[in-house]
Structure 1
Amino acid sequence: MTGKKAGLAALLRKEYGDNIINIHCFSHRLELAFRDVVKLEKKYQKLMNLLIGLHKFYKIHKNRKGLKEASETLSINMVSPKRVSTTRWLPHLSEGINSLAKNFRSYEAHLASCRHENAKAQGYYSMLLDKGLMTFAIVLQVLL
């Protein structure tokens, strides 16, 4: 929307003159600054892959049912995996990390039980057991 030639601000400037002031959304600027800082950290992309992957994995009824059963067995109130891929605003990432923390034991139990027949489950299970990645998620949550 802020493109120099064909963005909305540029089109309005052509139509109404240079008195148009273009203001970049503060939330978007904050998100871009945050990404510039963490994109150098490989764990950020790995964490995003885990959060997005868990959301997609548990959209499948069979997997969601298994997670619910694991949560009930462990006496944990299941929190639905949050979608962090539509817009990656910081609150969405924070909600995704919160649901990861609340469901961690349920994810671990369910993924451990189905990882032998499902390669994706094995991959997510391995990421869950990555202490460096989970520490990064906790630190990131504190910063958010």
Structure 2
Amino acid sequence: MTVEQIISGMQRAWNAGDGAGWGAHFAEDADFVDALGRIQRGREVIGTEHQKIFDTVYRGSVLEYRLIGSRPLGDGLLLVHTDSTLHVPAGPRKGTVDGVQTKLIRDGLILAFHNTLRGDLASFTKHDQALAERSPLDWKS
């Protein structure tokens, strides 16, 4: 599968609430780091854990993926970055959530996936204006 096919297939599986379909894009021994920093290991676990959220907090949600970029790292390994918008219609996560993802892909399967929620720096710094105005390279002190 191409990177584009993987991304569109994952989007379709999410929007159908299909945990097994989501998991099918991962290698048997893949690692998935969710937005809360929890590590899920293995295709079956990743599919099962996603089915739980499809059936509960993300029921009826709609995911949109966009490819940011992809580059080869050698030995058939690709580094892929995507961003996403998740629309959740109801429940405790109701609203829109933006994220960015890093994936390592080889032979059409995801070996590793890291999901990060996007937020604004002002909220992250508890509205500390001086910190909120710093660029990432200024975060040394």
Do they superpose with TM above 0.5?
no
> Which structure: greater strand fraction?
2
TM-score, length-scaled by structure 2: 0.23
Larger helix percent: 1
TM-score under structure 1 normalisation? 0.22
The structure that has the greater radius of gyration is: 1
